[in-house]
């Protein structure tokens, strides 16, 4: 068990300089999982240092995959092919990684052995029926705790059949689990969504040779097609960059550049929202690797105005809504966030956690069943707040503390390492850079 760490944050002066954020978590997970079932060796550069991504790495090692770590962020994955994995000799523990426990069953469903997946207390509370139901329709023998709704999950892999499935809630993790199982299934597997979710899986599988068709809200994959190993450079994680971006927008005199960030259109909802609020975020130096676009993000402090965040943009910034709410506390007017009920079943109930802790800091907001109403601008004050063991809540509160009067202590801040181990160090360096210039 990781030792508890409380973090004290004070009001900051301007942030200045250039910074790189860890590799994209979503892409890092997929790079390891997909190359593990491909033919050949793949070199992955920019692999995320987040604990969640290491959970995927360790899971594939437990399944017999050789992964060489040449550097902390450079891996060589030796693929075993679609059906080359071996039965693990113990339960696979995914830690806090929702991506691992929801996507890996899609691969295990097509194997010829038995496996069990579990995770920490947070993972064991998260809904799993959303993957168990479609995989069972495909012929997989899969079970979960609490009437097949929670982890641990046990899977007896075997022969699968393609299905046509409409996801009740747009989710890239659920979509990916079904598509991965579709690689092993007889015939075609089709997934339909009411709103487009992030498409990293489709992009990477197509680059690896999968037979897929992608339209606006429908994706199909043909079973039986081998995958080829894919060398790639993982772009910086836009979810991690979002905290630095919002901090720079809110702290007067700030001007930073975040280099090499992924700007996949299914992930840039936060940039669209912040620019609609009057923020100054510009993308330059665009390049492509492994089917994923990246660019440098230039950010300057700016006054913000309230907006409404709802509808089809929600899946494109679901992970960034907590930090968007912090930005809203400093925006002129009333910002409404609706249609984000999925936040209640993340690492914490993010709607309730964020409302509770920001209110302690003097925010003016109202908790909705599926979102928040935030009024601004308000002067935040330092307080003792709690991360609720959720990395995104912890980092959002840290940004709020940078603009608050006095000191803020964030309890259980060790969870930040789940996605962004160098977060505090990067903030300090940006602040120190300004001091050096002064």
Half-sphere exposure of 307 (CA within 13 A, CB side): 18
Band (pLDDT 50/70/90 cuts) for residue 433 is low
Q: Where are the alpha helices (DSSP H) in 185-231?
A: 200-207
The two tokens of residue 90 are 């113990």
Judge whether 94 and 102 are in contact, CB under 8 Å.
no
Band (pLDDT 50/70/90 cuts) for residue 432 is confident
Query: Kindly report the CA angle at 62 between 61 and 63, in degrees rounded to 5?
Result: 85
Residue 398 burial by Cβ neighbours in a 10 Å radius (0-12, 13-18, 19+): buried
Rounded to two decimals, the pTM is 0.93
CA 203/CA 206 separation, integer angstroms = 5
- Residues 336, 337, 339, 341, CA torsion sign: negative
Q: What pLDDT digit, counting tens, does each position of 349-390 carry?
A: 999 999 999 999 999 999 999 999 999 999 999 999 999 999
For residues 243-251, average pLDDT: 98
The two tokens of residue 187 are 């015939």
The answer to whether residue 438 scores a pLDDT higher than 50 is: no
Helix, strand, coil percentages, rounded to 5, for the chain: 35, 30, 35
Judged by phi (left if over 0) then psi (alpha if -120 to 50, else beta), residue 88 lies in beta
Neighbour count for residue 379 (Cβ, 10 Å): 12
Q: For 208-243, give one letter per residue: b (16+ CB within 10 A) or e.
A: bebebeeeeeebbbbbeeebebbebbbbbbbbbbbb
Task: Find the catalytic residue in 24, 120, 199, 319.
Answer: 319
Element (H, E) at 365: strand 364-368
User: Does residue 319 have an active-site annotation?
Assistant: yes
Residue 289 confidence (pLDDT): 83
- Residues 103, 104, 107, 113, CA torsion sign: negative
Band (pLDDT 50/70/90 cuts) for residue 290 is confident
Residue with tokens 């850079």, as numbered in its chain: 433
The two tokens of residue 415 are 């969870």
Residue 421 burial by Cβ neighbours in a 10 Å radius (0-12, 13-18, 19+): middle
Domains, the chain, with CATH or none? 7-23+235-437 (3.65.10.10), 25-233 (3.65.10.10)
CA 148/CA 194 separation, integer angstroms = 25
Residue with tokens 């996605």, as numbered in its chain: 419
Residue 279, classed as helix, strand or coil, is coil
Residue 268 confidence (pLDDT): 97
């Amino acid at each position: 068990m990781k030792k508890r760490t409380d973090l004290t944050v004070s009001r900051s002066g301007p942030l200045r300089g250039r910074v790189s954020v860890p590799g994209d978590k979503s892409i890092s997970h997929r790079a390891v999982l997909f190359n593990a079932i491909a033919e050949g060796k793949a070199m992955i550069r920019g692999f995320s240092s987040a604990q969640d991504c290491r959970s995927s790495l360790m899971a594939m090692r437990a399944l017999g995959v050789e992964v060489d770590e040449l550097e902390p962020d450079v891996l060589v994955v030796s693929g075993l092919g679609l059906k080359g994995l071996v039965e693990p000799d113990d339960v696979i523990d995914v830690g806090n990684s929702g991506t691992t426990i929801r996507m890996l069953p899609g691969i295990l469903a097509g194997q010829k052995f038995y496996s069990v997946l579990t995770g920490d207390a947070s993972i064991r509370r998260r809904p799993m029926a959303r993957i168990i139901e479609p995989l069972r329709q495909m012929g997989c023998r899969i079970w979960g705790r609490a009437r097949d709704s929670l982890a641990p999950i046990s899977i007896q892999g075997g022969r699968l059949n393609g299905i046509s499935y409409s996801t009740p809630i747009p989710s890239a993790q659920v979509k990916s689990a079904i598509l991965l199982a579709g690689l092993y299934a007889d015939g075609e597997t089709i997934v339909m969504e009411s709103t487009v979710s992030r498409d990293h899986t489709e992009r990477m599988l197509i680059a690896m040779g999968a037979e897929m068709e992608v339209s606006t809200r429908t994706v199909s994959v043909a079973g039986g097609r081998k995958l080829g190993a894919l060398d790639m450079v993982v772009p910086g994680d836009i979810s991690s960059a979002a905290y630095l971006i919002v901090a720079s927008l809110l702290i007067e005199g700030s001007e930073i550049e975040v280099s090499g960030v992924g700007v996949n259109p299914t992930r840039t909802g936060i940039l669209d929202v912040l620019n609609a609020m009057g923020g100054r975020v510009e993308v330059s130096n665009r390049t492509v690797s492994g089917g994923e676009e990246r660019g440098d993000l230039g950010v300057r402090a700016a006054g913000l105005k309230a907006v409404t965040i709802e509808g089809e943009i929600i899946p494109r910034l679901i992970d960034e809504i907590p930090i968007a709410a912090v930005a809203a506390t400093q925006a002129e007017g009333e910002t409404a966030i609706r249609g984000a009920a999925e936040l209640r079943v993340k690492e914490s109930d993010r709607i309730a956690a964020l409302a509770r802790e920001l209110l302690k800091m003097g925010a003016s907001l109202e908790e909705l069943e599926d979102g928040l109403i935030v009024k601004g601008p308000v002067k935040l004050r330092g307080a003792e707040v709690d991360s609720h063991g959720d990395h995104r809540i912890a980092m959002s509160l840290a940004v709020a503390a940078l603009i608050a009067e006095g000191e803020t202590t964030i309890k259980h801040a060790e969870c930040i390492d789940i996605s962004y181990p160098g977060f505090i160090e990067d903030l300090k360096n940006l602040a120190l850079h300004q001091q050096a210039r002064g």
